[in-house]
Structure 1
Amino acid sequence: MNNILQVLIGIVIVIGSISCTRESSTATGWSYNDPKNGGFDKSPYIEQETGPGLVFIEGGVFTMGQVYDDVMYDWNNMPRKATVSSFYIDETEVTNFHWLEYLYWIDRVYGDNYPEIYYKALPDTLVWRQKLGYNEPYTEYYLRHPSYRDYPVVGVNWLQANDYCVWRTDRVNELILIREGLFEFFPNQIDEDHFSTDAYLAGQYESGKRVEGITDFDPNNETRNVRMEDGILLPRYRLPTEAEWEFAAFALIGNSNQELISGAKIYPWSGNYVRNDDHKGHFYGDFRANFVRGAGDYMGVAGHLNDGADITADVYMYFPNDYGLYNMAGNVSEWVMDVYRPTSNEDVSEFRPYRGNVFQTKVKDASGSIANKYDNVDYDMDGIADYMTKFQRTMQGRSTPEEASLIDNVNIAVEEAQNLANNDKRDDANQKIQETLELVKNQDLTISFMIVKGISDNIINQPGEMHYRDITVEETVDRRNYREADNIDYRDGDIESSIYYLDASMEDKPNRMYEWGVTTLISNRARVYKGGSWSDRAYYIQPAVRRYLDERQATADIGFRCAMSRVGSPGGLGNNKR
């Protein structure tokens, strides 16, 4: 009996010693999470959490580009092999109700002191208007009426879509910290004192904390903020790249058996038909997507409508593709990240192809610390000047004396703000624009709100956001992978790729290759959008078709969905080691 007791005691001692043993470094042998040796932290981690609304897309190699007839003779997406890393993408397009949630938050946080931020976020509901068509009800009801609540938001330009992605990242990460017990719900956030992921990671947001932080194994501290190394916060929501969107739309995973892909696809579904060809199902003969069948036929014959929609439709209305993604063909076309070039297929990388890189870094002060976040609105001075020049030209001969005087005063103030910004007095320049806005708001004139809205569209940073800047050539002296911040023109628009490659005087001239507004609409602001829409013929619902539009413009048939980078293993849990 005593021997058995001794054995049991020995087992307990061994188990206890094992449970108290800390994991140690395979490089140095020092234990992790041990205050006695300095407390280098290794947080428990399994894998990336799937964010709200997202679907995991396992990446791989595919033939990107048009493999069937290019009936428009654009020749701008020639087929070639490319590899896309695993990523996440929204199950559906962003809806009107999602956007109303965004507008509500913007108004609640910024509405009192910076209403221009709210104006900037408003979709252009007038995109529905046609000169010879009666679409006026959509301008009033489409965004806000509950009948269209689950329809895709439209009238949103590329810049607004990116702003939404930033906002969504912050709201999701804020909720994660609340879920983990670190923060409380704090509805009284206002102006720069609101949660943003970057500000929190930089130690510049404290409001709403429930506790000081998580346990810090550093013997000199008791608690600390969550860090990126903890794996608790999610990566950024963003627009998908063109390659990611096309890969997700084709969903070749449904046609593959191990490494064999049985046949290419024209559409996000198998086969050559736009109707459901499963004669055993209840939906045999029904359209698989929302598009225009033919001349004047947007919805079909009463009693049995083709696609059940005259304009857009509920984002869950049609069958998903093999990844479980809805409306990757039809309903609305969708913005992607890429800058448009007609020959990108010849230039971009084979691995994660993308054109549009502008490399940036956080601004730091003289001591090397991250600069304080914005406490006011940051404006694009040149953009405002360009807008006011066009506005004055449009109003010439049509404005009243009072309106003409206001326009002149605004132009004088904008010129002063430009000079301040050019002399590295950006805070003073922003303050000048803010004072000008107050001046305009106090004028009871028809054009007052037009000017306020035009200036609002040129906001580039909002209170509470961190300062970023483009990297400089001085920082890249010894680099081989890149030398400049802006690589949009690389191999297609830069001085080396233009006919002026021997003319040094053209180095800083715009429109070296693409004479925007003269011979082409292609510029560094031209962004790709993919997929067909409710107003397109069947040709455009092929995922390989690509078109472009200025990032500042919006239409009634372009929406978007968000994506997120996958970090770590491309296969996720259950993907056995080889």
Structure 2
Amino acid sequence: MLLLCLFSLSQSNLAQRGKKGELVGVLTSLELPDFQSKKVPKDIRPYVENMIYIPAGVFNMGDDLDTNARFYSKRVSTVASFFLSKTEIPNWLYREFCQVMIDSLGMDSAHLFLPDTLCWLENESPYTEPMASYYFSHPAYDNYPVVGVNYLQTVLFCDWLTDKVQKGLSKDSKTKGWAKMISFRLPNESEWEYAARGGLDISAYPWGESYYVYNDGGYTPKANCGAIIDTLGHIVLPADHDGYRYTSDISSFSPNGYGLYNMSGNVAEWTLDIYNPYASIFDYDLNPTFYRDTLSPKDSVSRVVKGGSFEDLPYFLSCGVRKGIMAYTQSKSIGFSVAITIFQYASQDL
């Protein structure tokens, strides 16, 4: 298939050899978008400067343990290069999306894109009532991850962000070519796990093998998770032992080897993939994504959620852990990051 694509590409460009033997009419180098560059228009920078380039690679995906959370035997997976947001999508950005949608479609359609703020009350805890009232709307939580969004809402957000960034980049001659490459989406499971590991292929967590790091006579948590419980079910450390009772700032704790924050903990994250406990049987090798739901509505199936959250035990923060969550679910512990596929255009107008 790869050879066929390359042959088709070469034919479409009608490559010819010049007098010195070089190929004429073929794009020999492609300038990938540099989202941290000053070329990016100022009004677009806040929407793209968070995107980090993830190089292509091969890694050991999944885990050998056979439990309800994992159900994914370890296998070698190949991932093409892509971009991923270095943090989870924050409240301020999702609020802007909602406001644009309300202005365009009116409040009658608000249920299609507004997060469910009442998700904070799902356990009927009096401590979460202020979160239900202020978490999404108050400026104090601007840089906290948006929660209470279902899978379909993340797709609508990605479509809006794609349109906004494409139009913004197209207005400037320096970035007009980049606009053709932009298409925001959720990462698939393979991409997410590869990026989360940050180059530590066989480690359980983005920072290494242990949830804790011994420091100054004590153990320092590396991510925002739930209570620590021993084998007898006793609480060793409460849920706020890491400094946070609920979610934390999107740039809290240390980034992994690729510069990505909170790939484990804080909030779990939606991925593109449909959940199947035996997905390794069906997956493709190159950026595997399990899409076999052509006869099912997109909101009627389980999607893979990765990374664990502030509610989960450290065990669920392992890069290899996967959960199947119904696509219509709006939970206080699930948010999302966004990815961009790197499209290869063989065109001199780039």
Structure 1 counterpart of 2:16, from 5, 20, 27: 27
Structure 2 counterpart of 1:555, from 322, 331, 347: 331
Look up the equivalent residue of 1:346 and give its one-letter code: I
Q: Are 2:29 and 1:48 equivalent residues in the alignment? A: no
CA pair 104-249 structure 1, distance change in 2 beyond 3 A:
same
Alignment-derived partner of residue 283 in structure 2: 348
Q: Are 2:51 and 1:117 equivalent residues in the alignment? A: no
Structure 1 counterpart of 2:195, from 240, 248, 272: 248
Alignment-derived partner of residue 93 in structure 1: 88
CA distance in 2 between partners of 1:43 and 1:349 (Å)? 29
Structure 2 counterpart of 1:83, from 78, 87, 105: 78
Alignment-derived partner of residue 314 in structure 1: 249
Q: Are 2:206 and 1:268 equivalent residues in the alignment? A: yes
Q: CA deviation at 1:132?
A: 4.0
Q: CA deviation at 1:75?
A: 5.3
> Would you say the 8 A contact 2:239–2:311 is kept in 1?
no
Root-mean-square deviation (Å)? 3.1
CA distance in 2 between partners of 1:247 and 1:110 (Å)? 38
> Would you say the 8 A contact 1:291–1:298 is kept in 2?
no
Alignment-derived partner of residue 228 in structure 2: 294
Map 1:384-403 → 2, pairs under 5 A: none
CA distance in 2 between partners of 1:105 and 1:42 (Å)? 41
How many aligned residue pairs are there?
A: 308
> Would you say the 8 A contact 1:125–1:143 is kept in 2?
yes
> Would you say the 8 A contact 1:298–1:311 is kept in 2?
no
CA pair 278-58 structure 1, distance change in 2 beyond 3 A:
farther
Look up the equivalent residue of 2:55 and give its one-letter code: E
CA distance in 1 between partners of 2:260 and 2:14 (Å)? 42
Q: CA deviation at 1:146?
A: 1.1
Q: Are 2:120 and 1:128 equivalent residues in the alignment? A: yes
Alignment-derived partner of residue 238 in structure 1: 185
3-state SS of 1:567 partner:
coil
Q: Are 2:174 and 1:149 equivalent residues in the alignment? A: no
CA pair 43-277 structure 1, distance change in 2 beyond 3 A:
same
Look up the equivalent residue of 1:168 and give its one-letter code: L
Shifted more, 86-95 versus 58-67: the winner is 58-67
Q: CA deviation at 1:106?
A: 1.6
CA pair 559-348 structure 1, distance change in 2 beyond 3 A:
same
Alignment-derived partner of residue 532 in structure 1: 308
| Percent of aligned pairs with the same amino acid | 31
Alignment-derived partner of residue 101 in structure 2: 106
CA pair 347-268 structure 1, distance change in 2 beyond 3 A:
same
Q: CA deviation at 1:121?
A: 1.1
CA distance in 2 between partners of 1:294 and 1:26 (Å)? 62
Q: CA deviation at 1:351?
A: 1.8
> Would you say the 8 A contact 1:488–1:524 is kept in 2?
no
CA distance in 2 between partners of 1:181 and 1:26 (Å)? 26
> Would you say the 8 A contact 1:65–1:544 is kept in 2?
yes
Q: CA deviation at 1:108?
A: 2.7
CA distance in 2 between partners of 1:277 and 1:566 (Å)? 40
Give the unaligned 5+ runs of structure 2: 1-12, 19-24, 36-47, 230-234, 346-350
> Would you say the 8 A contact 2:69–2:323 is kept in 1?
no
Look up the equivalent residue of 2:221 and give its one-letter code: F
CA distance in 2 between partners of 1:139 and 1:241 (Å)? 30
Alignment-derived partner of residue 261 in structure 2: 326
Look up the equivalent residue of 1:167 and give its one-letter code: W
Look up the equivalent residue of 2:210 and give its one-letter code: Y
> Would you say the 8 A contact 1:89–1:563 is kept in 2?
yes
CA pair 174-63 structure 1, distance change in 2 beyond 3 A:
same
CA distance in 1 between partners of 2:123 and 2:243 (Å)? 26
> Would you say the 8 A contact 2:302–2:324 is kept in 1?
yes
Q: Larger radius of gyration, structure 1 or 2?
A: 1
Q: CA deviation at 1:277?
A: 3.5
CA pair 86-289 structure 1, distance change in 2 beyond 3 A:
same
Deviations along 1:275-312, one digit per CA (max 9) or x if unpaired, are: 23466xxx973211000133565544xxxxx3111100
3-state SS of 1:116 partner:
helix
Give the unaligned 5+ runs of structure 1: 1-23, 30-40, 183-225, 256-260, 301-305, 357-486, 490-507, 511-522, 570-578
Q: CA deviation at 1:85?
A: 0.6
CA distance in 1 between partners of 2:28 and 2:58 (Å)? 32
Map 1:417-436 → 2, pairs under 5 A: none
CA distance in 2 between partners of 1:323 and 1:75 (Å)? 24
CA pair 58-155 structure 1, distance change in 2 beyond 3 A:
same
TM-score normalised by L of structure 1: 0.49
Deviations along 1:335-377, one digit per CA (max 9) or x if unpaired, are: 0000111111112112221111xxxxxxxxxxxxxxxxxxxxx
Look up the equivalent residue of 1:80 and give its one-letter code: R
CA distance in 2 between partners of 1:58 and 1:143 (Å)? 34
> Would you say the 8 A contact 1:176–1:233 is kept in 2?
no
> Would you say the 8 A contact 2:181–2:343 is kept in 1?
no
> Would you say the 8 A contact 1:143–1:153 is kept in 2?
yes
3-state SS of 1:321 partner:
coil
Deviations along 1:429-485, one digit per CA (max 9) or x if unpaired, are: xxxxxxxxxxxxxxxxxxxxxxxxxxxxxxxxxxxxxxxxxxxxxxxxxxxxxxxxx
CA distance in 1 between partners of 2:17 and 2:314 (Å)? 62
Deviations along 1:59-117, one digit per CA (max 9) or x if unpaired, are: 211111114x45x4555211011101111100000011111111122223333xxx333
Look up the equivalent residue of 1:265 and give its one-letter code: S
3-state SS of 2:87 partner:
coil
Q: CA deviation at 1:147?
A: 1.3
Alignment-derived partner of residue 336 in structure 1: 271
Look up the equivalent residue of 2:62 and give its one-letter code: G
> Would you say the 8 A contact 1:248–1:323 is kept in 2?
yes
CA distance in 2 between partners of 1:234 and 1:567 (Å)? 5
